[in-house]
Amino acid sequence: MAEIILVTGGARSGKSNFAEKLTLQLGNNHAAYIATAQIFDNEMAYRVKLHQARRKNNWANYEAPFDAEKIFPNVAENVILFDSVTMYLTNWILTKNLDDENIFVDFENFIEKLLAAAENSCAKVIFVSDEVGAGIVPENKLSRVFRDMLGLANQKIAAHSEKVFLTVAGLAVDIKKIAENNFAEKNILDEIKIVIKERKRIDVTTKGEWTDAIEKCWQKETEILSRDIEKTIDFIENKCSNDTFCWISEVFDDVAAITQSPKFIDAIKKRAAFITDKDQRRLVETDISFAEEKILPKNL
């Protein structure tokens, strides 16, 4: 799986400048740049020129105002800068009907596609985004929906990131490292990602055949998810990608048998609704039905 880094901050905080320097450092002075902005007026044209002026010949440039997941497979560079999630979401939301009751479901799938493409690229991917939720509540619906979605997108990307930098006044701080130091406990997503990576490696070498090594991976996943069911439920509801959810669904019955938690069953049922691939959803729903059978009647 790819290594993801998130760089976020307010306007003119220095986030893009920092992200560009970090990207070139990680890429030995050569990297890919995925640009998401569209130019409709002189002000945006000026902002784009400022960014372009900083980038020399050591960048391979790609443009993806829409459907960025189609760009990642074509990038040959080992390090990719995606600037920015903010503009990418802006382009998407302006094509949507804000009164559509499924708009947040569509948004979840939109971000899932972007994250899945980044993780499957096997590159280091640096996402640049903005923090827009620190001010007053906007008066119009478009601004409120945008603010909420960008905040949720940042949370989702941060959960999948090895590092998260917050930039203020040109200074960048790894806030994920601070958070991990403040809360010296294991992160479910980080642990699960390690086990899934091992399972994928084993699948390649054994061509999908069942082995004792796969059994050990299942046992480890069960142990991680059963350790603290409230944290597991939060992980499934807020931090778990579709791909990860499908991988761990195979141990849902064991987790249910150990925890005897109806809340866990409710959480995995709700999360399954976000899976758009019909075949994957059918397999996951089968796993969930097995899990339901493990809850004793007295706990229902």
User: Which structural domain, as residue segments, surrounds residue 83?
Assistant: 3-182
Q: Are residues 81 and 221 in the same domain?
A: no
Q: Are residues 24 and 127 in the same domain?
A: yes
Q: Are residues 164 and 225 in the same domain?
A: no
- Find residue 6's DSSP bridge partners: 127, 164
CA 206/CA 29 separation, integer angstroms: 38
**How confident is the model over 74-127, as pLDDT tens digits?**
999 999 999 999 999 999 999 999 999 999 999 999 999 999 999 999 899 999
Q: Where does a domain end: 148, 182, 216? A: 182
Residue 51 has φ and ψ, to the nearest 5°, of: -65, -45
CA 65/CA 280 separation, integer angstroms: 28
Q: Where does a domain end: 155, 182, 209? A: 182
103: left (phi over 0), alpha (psi -120 to 50) or beta: alpha
Active site residue 160: no
Q: Are residues 134 and 31 in the same domain?
A: yes
**How confident is the model over 258-288, as pLDDT tens digits?**
999 999 999 999 999 999 889 999 999 999 9
Q: Are residues 48 and 192 in the same domain?
A: no
Q: Which of 30, 51, 113, 269 is catalytic?
A: 51
Lowest model confidence (mean pLDDT) among 221-225, 230-234, 294-298? 294-298
